[in-house]
């Protein structure tokens, strides 16, 4: 491998790292607790899924289906040819090959992005579960593949917990973004809910479902290798904190303001995990 080729690969990684830091300060802070080799691959996964998500959520002045078609076609070219001049795709394909991320996980994620371009209203339970799996659970499984470095036995044991964690994060995001999804994107992800009359009972039922996902997720987080455990636990704490704030917010207010964890609270959580890791305290 020539010096310039190595430099290009480094530029691709730096691009995915920049994408992660610009789009999610919380996720970026969590990633800092990963070992360097794992950290690079998680940046690459995040860059890929973030760009796909941006296409379907943001670029409304363009033909988003056409953009997604091109992005997916370029991805397959990069995967087959071993290189892409799209640095995010190049970095992700390197990670997919190196970490042996199953193709069905990527294909299922892409399918969920195409779902977002369609009618995302009045979903039934089956369509809702399909979307949660494709948009969130498979991303957790991609990361789990990286964390476990090809250990198939551990992967199979921890797989359901990773899926629960991915589902929990996505459902919390749905609640947090309920106003913009409904009013701006015309989406109503939660099944069997009338969002013109979103009641306290509706909200509590959704929260109970999320609570169960979190309860399952923490069981798996405690079983992760130390190289990734504290990073994932920090993400768990961020989202648990956000979830608790949402639970304290009445259903009407959720449509008026976007609930968030402020920077001071994030810094406290980061400090807590830093001390846990430094003192080798079990989570």
Over residues 32-55, the pLDDT tens digits come to 999 998 999 999 999 999 999 999
Residue 61, pLDDT score: 94
Exposed/middle/buried for residue 281 (C-beta within 10 Å: 0-12, 13-18, 19+): exposed
- Whether residue 194 contacts residue 273, with contact meaning beta carbons closer than 8 Å, is answered with no
Over residues 163-178, the pLDDT tens digits come to 999 999 999 999 998 8
Question: Comparing C-alpha atoms, which of 196, 134, 137, 127 is closest to residue 169?
Answer: 137
Q: What is the mean pLDDT of residues 206-235?
A: 96
Residues near 255 by beta carbon (within 8 Å), at least 6 away in sequence: 178, 179, 182, 183, 198
- Whether residue 145 contacts residue 224, with contact meaning beta carbons closer than 8 Å, is answered with no
């Amino acid at each position: 491998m020539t010096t310039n080729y190595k430099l290009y690969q480094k530029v691709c990684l730096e691009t995915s790292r920049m994408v992660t830091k610009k789009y999610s300060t919380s996720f970026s802070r969590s990633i800092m607790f990963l070992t360097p080799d794992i950290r690079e691959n998680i940046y690459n996964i995040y860059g890929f899924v973030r760009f796909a998500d941006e296409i379907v959520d943001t670029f409304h002045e363009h033909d988003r289906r056409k953009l997604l078609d091109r992005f997916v076609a370029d991805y397959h070219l990069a995967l087959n040819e071993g290189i892409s001049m799209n640095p995010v795709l190049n970095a992700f394909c390197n990670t997919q090959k190196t970490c042996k991320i199953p193709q069905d996980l990527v294909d299922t994620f892409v399918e969920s992005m195409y779902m977002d371009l369609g009618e995302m209203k009045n979903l039934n339970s089956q369509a809702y579960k399909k979307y949660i799996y494709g948009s969130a659970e498979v991303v957790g499984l991609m990361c789990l593949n990286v964390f476990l470095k090809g250990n198939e036995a551990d992967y199979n044991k921890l797989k359901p917990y990773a899926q629960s964690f991915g589902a929990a994060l996505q459902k919390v995001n749905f609640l947090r973004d309920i106003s913009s999804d409904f009013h701006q994107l015309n989406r109503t992800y939660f099944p069997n809910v009338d969002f013109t009359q979103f009641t306290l009972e509706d909200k509590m039922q959704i929260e109970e479902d999320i609570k169960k996902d979190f309860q399952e997720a923490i069981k798996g987080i405690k079983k992760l290798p130390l190289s990734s455990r504290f990073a994932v636990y920090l993400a768990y704490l961020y989202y648990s904190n956000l979830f608790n704030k949402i639970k304290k917010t009445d259903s009407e207010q959720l449509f008026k303001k976007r609930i968030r964890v402020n920077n001071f609270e994030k810094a406290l959580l980061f400090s807590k995990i830093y001390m846990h890791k430094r003192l080798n305290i079990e989570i």
